[in-house]
């Protein structure tokens, strides 16, 4: 019986298995059987009615009417009230918010925890929702941080995550999981929609609920707006990024991973939140950077290229190539150091839902690749954190395939890849025919046989129960007594093949695993987050490791925004001097708001990618072609929204408005503007005469090339005329019929 399950975060809904009751030692908090059953009933009561009332395949009118009936029905009967947040809870991006500030608003509460990659997938969807309703003070998103790991209760760690992921809505540290329990939440991520009277309207667990949440929010704003229950006063803000000048002046911003070119004495740093790859010599002296002007998916020269929070890097010395896990672009990139150009080997910027692979290029979508490692064959191994698998890129034909992991989030060690499960693998290190894996959500170090895809547990985690992802702590030793906490990186020693170094990230330590004896011992870090040199010194969530010459271990000390060097012979820890590393162009402007890459696209969206435009100004003419006999649904609210990434790179007029079949949008740019992406999203509601009404999202992505700061001005350039065309095709139209509803 499922009593209480704050389980594997974000297991795909269609693949998810039940999680058994957690013990007091395994779960963030223990519940009595009566409390657990009560909370399960609360969750079921809050979520069953919307699911039954609104059919996903229904027409717009049917779904909208169903949501309105659902809201009216809730108003007429008792429901679940959302309690105030704990009075002592810490807040980020705002002062404490309760009662008076939060009532009179439709709220989306985002229950998340900073370790969970699935929670990160939801953030762009929430950002898009906030942008759509930015003009409505009666709507707000509140992040409710509900920790899995003990380290995640710490204010400093949460604040770092808010900065790292560019979160601008208010976030509360519900360290005791009080609100989680009160609403019967059972997994990360979960979105709770709350009425302006404090009633729970619905819970959405897991990913891929963007459309459902948006439709419920839209209906709630209309319903409660008609009742006069919405405020016109916006929530007060006090953004974390404005409180610490180091976020604007640090040469590095939350570096994720590292790679060393021993022969060339170079260090490659994924400067993740500056969206670039920085190269220094081994003393920290700046050599060059790739990307950083914006967060986007752009190929081209080192200046033109763009990444989005890249993580893993792997260096191929023979071919002078640097492979990059471009994590939030969901892409595998290649930096050709000889040609000084960047290309995309797989991924198109959208999160994939593929558990097998077999394709290559833009058509092969990936899901949050977190690390990469070069294999002796010249192929590249990927830690696919988003699908809990290991994938292999074949250099010979450019294809990618899953080689280990069935997609379930577990700590299951099988004889081959199909009978093995991983739990957000985040760090890789190859040695011979084996690859060592930092399996972060199971808090374990495991080894994968490259020939079979099978796995063995080496240290940490639960050796007996594969679904237990709560066996964590900070205990050195041997065998079952070893406890780690969300390790993010491993590195096989180049001096002693028996040793594997571990970034025990949430314990803020560097440890060593002796493969011969099975013993784990701490080398650096006293367990407290900080930036202190010496022995043992202090680190703050180290997330990347790379072996250098003479026993030097380079460490990406992520939350310190620094690179550290551990002498593995003397165990002295020092900070690498990277003061010569310049800020990226976009970070020099204090006025430029942080900008993330475009949010992931819905799998059902029609996506049209245009050719790059280099003009300073122009007109975009949208031409939508509907099938014969179809027309835009009157009164349904077909509309368009223009977004630019980064926002200051171009201006669009109008930025939003009602959609017609020949909508025109103007754009303009200033000389010196960086490369950007203009995304025009159309929501198309269309009907067949005397038949069913349908909905389709059409997205036009138009790359804008970088513009020279000298020469032409807007006045001296003619308007560029860009025609954007798309055909809207109903499902199964080719088969001669419209789907039954």
In angstroms, what CA-CA distances link 687 with 21, 188, 385, 681, 694?
A: 49, 38, 41, 19, 6
How does DSSP assign 399-441, residue by residue? Answer: EEEEEE--S-BS-B--SBGGG-BBS-EEEEEEETTEEEEEEGG
Confidence of residue 226 (pLDDT cuts 50, 70, 90): very high
Confidence of residue 122 (pLDDT cuts 50, 70, 90): very high
Mark 313-322 as b/e (b = at least 16 C-beta within 10 Å): bbbbeeeebb
User: Please, are residues 424 and 384 in contact by the beta-carbon 8 Å criterion?
Assistant: no
Range with the lowest mean pLDDT among 16-25, 255-264, 313-322?
Answer: 16-25
Confidence of residue 41 (pLDDT cuts 50, 70, 90): very low
621-625 mean pLDDT: 90
Cis peptide bond upstream of 189, omega within 30: yes
Q: Give the percent of the chain with pLDDT over 70.
A: 85
Residue 51 has pLDDT above 50, yes or no: no
Q: Is pLDDT larger for residue 266 or for residue 736?
A: 266
Q: What is the pLDDT of residue 208?
A: 82
User: Please, are residues 237 and 122 in contact by the beta-carbon 8 Å criterion?
Assistant: no
State the pTM of this model.
0.76
In this predicted model, what pLDDT tens digit does every residue of 502-556 receive, in sequence order? 999 999 999 999 999 999 999 999 999 999 999 999 999 999 999 999 999 999 9
Q: What is the pLDDT of residue 15?
A: 40
Confidence of residue 637 (pLDDT cuts 50, 70, 90): low
Q: Give the percent of the chain with pLDDT over 90.
A: 60
Q: What is the pLDDT of residue 10?
A: 41
Confidence of residue 462 (pLDDT cuts 50, 70, 90): very high
Q: Is pLDDT larger for residue 162 or for residue 8?
A: 162
Q: What is the pLDDT of residue 49?
A: 43
Q: Is pLDDT larger for residue 108 or for residue 672?
A: 108
Q: What is the pLDDT of residue 476?
A: 97
Residue 322 has pLDDT above 50, yes or no: yes
Confidence of residue 247 (pLDDT cuts 50, 70, 90): low
In angstroms, what CA-CA distances link 311 with 206, 225, 254, 542?
A: 24, 44, 10, 13
- What residues contact 60, with CB distance under 8 A and at least 6 apart? 633, 636, 685, 693, 694, 695
175 token code pair:
């360290």
Confidence of residue 47 (pLDDT cuts 50, 70, 90): very low
Q: What is the pLDDT of residue 245?
A: 65
In this predicted model, what pLDDT tens digit does every residue of 393-435 receive, in sequence order? 999 999 999 999 999 999 999 999 999 999 999 999 999 888 9
Confidence of residue 636 (pLDDT cuts 50, 70, 90): low
Q: What is the pLDDT of residue 26?
A: 35
Residue 52 has pLDDT above 80, yes or no: no
Q: What is the pLDDT of residue 54?
A: 55
Q: What is the pLDDT of residue 650?
A: 84
Q: What is the pLDDT of residue 361?
A: 95
Q: Which residues pair with 620 in a beta bridge?
A: 665, 722
Q: Quick one: DSSP state of residue 483?
A: B
Q: What is the pLDDT of residue 691?
A: 61
76-101 mean pLDDT: 89
For 665-669, the CB contacts below 8 A with 24+ separation are: 665/619, 665/620, 665/622, 665/640, 666/617, 666/618, 666/619, 666/620, 667/617, 667/618, 667/619, 667/620, 668/616, 668/617, 668/714, 669/615, 669/616, 669/617, 669/704, 669/707
Range with the lowest mean pLDDT among 299-303, 458-462, 472-476?
Answer: 299-303
In this predicted model, what pLDDT tens digit does every residue of 270-294 receive, in sequence order? 999 999 999 999 999 999 999 987 8
Q: What is the pLDDT of residue 651?
A: 82
Q: What is the pLDDT of residue 85?
A: 93
In angstroms, what CA-CA distances link 219 with 19, 54, 106, 349?
A: 34, 12, 10, 30
Mean pLDDT of the chain: 85
d(CA 686, CA 684): 6
d(CA 185, CA 179): 8
Query: Which domains does the chain possess?
Result: 33-242 (3.40.30.10), 246-588 (2.120.10.30), 606-735 (no CATH)
In this predicted model, what pLDDT tens digit does every residue of 589-616 receive, in sequence order? 333 333 456 777 766 788 898 888 888 8
């Amino acid at each position: 019986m499922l009593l209480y399950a704050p389980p594997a975060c974000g297991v795909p809904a269609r693949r998810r298995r039940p999680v058994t009751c957690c013990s007091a030692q395994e779960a963030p908090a223990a519940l009595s059987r009566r409390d657990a059953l009560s909370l399960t009933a609360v969750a079921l009561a809050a979520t069953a009615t919307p699911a039954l009332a609104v059919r996903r395949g229904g027409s717009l009118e049917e779904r909208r009417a169903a949501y309105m009936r659902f809201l009216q029905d809730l108003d007429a009967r008792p429901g679940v009230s959302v309690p105030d947040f704990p009075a002592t809870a810490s807040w980020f991006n705002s002062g404490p918010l309760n009662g008076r500030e939060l009532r009179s608003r439709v709220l989306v509460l985002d229950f998340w925890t900073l370790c969970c990659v699935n929670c990160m997938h939801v953030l762009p969807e929430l950002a898009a929702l906030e942008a759509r309703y930015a003009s409505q003070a009666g709507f707000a998103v509140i992040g409710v941080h509900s920790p899995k790991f003990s380290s995640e209760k710490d204010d400093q760690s949460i604040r770092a995550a808010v900065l790292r992921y560019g979160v601008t809505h208010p976030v509360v540290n519900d360290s005791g999981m009080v609100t989680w329990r009160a609403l019967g939440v059972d997994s990360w991520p979960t979105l709770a929609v709350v009425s302006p009277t404090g009633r729970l309207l619905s819970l959405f667990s897991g990913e891929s609920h963007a459309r459902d949440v948006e439709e419920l929010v839209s209906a709630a704003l209309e319903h409660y707006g008609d009742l006069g229950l919405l405020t016109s006063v916006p929530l007060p803000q006090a953004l974390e990024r404005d409180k610490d000048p180091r976020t604007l002046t640090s040469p590095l911003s939350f570096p994720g991973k590292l790679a060393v070119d021993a022969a060339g004495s170079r260090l490659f740093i994924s400067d993740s939140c500056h969206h670039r790859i920085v190269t220094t010599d081994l003393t920290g002296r700046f050599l060059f950077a790739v990307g950083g002007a914006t967060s986007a998916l752009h190929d081209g020269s080192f200046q033109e290229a763009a990444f989005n929070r890249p993580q893993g890097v792997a260096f191929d010395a023979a071919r002078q190539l640097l492979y990059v896990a471009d994590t939030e672009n969901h892409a595998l990139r290649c930096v050709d150091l000889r040609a000084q150009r960047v290309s995309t080997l797989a991924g198109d910027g959208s999160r994939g839902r593929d558990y097998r692979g077999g394709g290559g290029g833009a058509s092969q979508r990936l899901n949050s690749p977190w690390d990469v490692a070069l294999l002796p064959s010249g192929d590249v191994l990927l830690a696919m954190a988003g699908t809990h698998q290991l994938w292999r890129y074949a250099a010979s034909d450019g294809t990618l395939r899953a080689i280990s992991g069935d997609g379930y989030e577990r700590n299951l060690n099988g004889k081959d890849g199909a009978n093995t499960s991983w739990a957000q693998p985040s760090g890789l290190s190859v040695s011979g025919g084996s690859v060592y894996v930092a399996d972060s959500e199971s808090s374990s170090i495991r080894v994968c046989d490259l020939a079979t895809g099978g796995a063995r547990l080496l240290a940490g985690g639960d050796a007996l129960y594969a679904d237990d992802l709560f066996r964590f702590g900070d205990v050195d030793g041997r065998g079952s007594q070893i406890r780690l906490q969300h390790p993010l990186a491993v590195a096989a020693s180049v001096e002693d093949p028996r040793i594997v170094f571990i970034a025990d990230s949430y314990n803020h330590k560097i440890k060593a695993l002796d493969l011969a004896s099975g013993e784990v011992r701490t080398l650096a870090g006293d367990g407290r987050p900080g930036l202190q040199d010496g022995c043992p010194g202090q680190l703050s969530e180290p997330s990347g490791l790379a072996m250098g010459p003479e026993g030097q271990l380079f460490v990406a000390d992520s939350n310190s925004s620094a690179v550290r060097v551990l002498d593995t012979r003397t165990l002295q820890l020092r900070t690498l001097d990277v003061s010569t590393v310049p800020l990226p162009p976009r970070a020099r402007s204090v006025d430029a708001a942080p900008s993330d890459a475009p949010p992931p696209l819905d799998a059902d969206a029609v996506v049209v990618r245009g050719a790059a435009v280099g003009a300073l100004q122009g007109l975009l003419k949208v031409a939508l072609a509907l099938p014969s006999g179809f027309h835009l649904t009157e009164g349904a609210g077909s509309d368009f929204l223009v977004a630019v990434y980064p926002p200051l790179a171009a201006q669009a007029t109008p930025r939003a408005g009602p959609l017609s079949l020949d909508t025109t949008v103007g754009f303009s740019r200033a000389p010196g503007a960086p490369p950007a992406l203009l995304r025009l999203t159309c929501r198309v509601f269309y009907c067949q005469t005397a038949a069913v009404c349908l909905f389709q999202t059409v997205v036009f992505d138009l790359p804008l090339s970088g513009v020279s700061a000298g020469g032409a001005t807007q006045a001296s350039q003619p308007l560029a005329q860009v025609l954007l065309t798309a055909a809207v095709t109903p499902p199964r139209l080719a088969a001669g019929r419209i789907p039954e509803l």
